[in-house]
Amino acid sequence: MLIAQILTTKGPVVHAIAGDATLSDAARELTEKKVGCVIVLDGDGDILGVLSERDIVREVARRGASCLDSTVASAMSSTVITADPGESVDACLGRMTDRRIRHLPVLRDGKLIGLVSIGDLVKLKIEEVEVEAASLRAYIASG
């Protein structure tokens, strides 16, 4: 299955924040939206980075609670690993595992069109295995 098919089911919603927002603002956004990361965008909608819950926790552990007044840009991951809508789920799962990341912004022609999480991809793989198992059971039962 391709990433584009997941986005068709999941939808194109991506939660974003500006780089000059505070980490406190970002923490509120993550909590309100019940998501694990936000994409950091510039004024033109181009990706500057990704800020995850882990990034905020690392900053608090390193600098203390006062870091929550710092900007998102100061704590975000600026090396952004992305996916293409034409890529396979397996290729993206491999990249996420190798890079130890949980979210992949999906770009088409350099523009953000969606976001997939490792949870989205694992859920799909489980569904595929369940369908295959049901097919095998039906085949065996028909005998």
CB 57 within 8 A of CB 78: no
CB 35 within 8 A of CB 50: no
Domain of residue 71, residue span: 3-142
In this predicted model, what pLDDT tens digit does every residue of 10-45 receive, in sequence order?
Answer: 888 999 999 999 999 999 999 999 999 999 999 998
Q: Is 35 exposed, middle or buried (0-12, 13-18, 19+ CB in 10 A)?
A: middle
CATH label of the domain that carries residue 17: 3.10.580.10
Helix/strand/coil for 58: helix
In this predicted model, what pLDDT tens digit does every residue of 93-110 receive, in sequence order?
Answer: 999 999 999 999 999 999
Give how far Cα 87 sits from Cα of 106, 116, 118, 138, Å.
Answer: 10, 12, 14, 31
Number of domains, the chain: 1
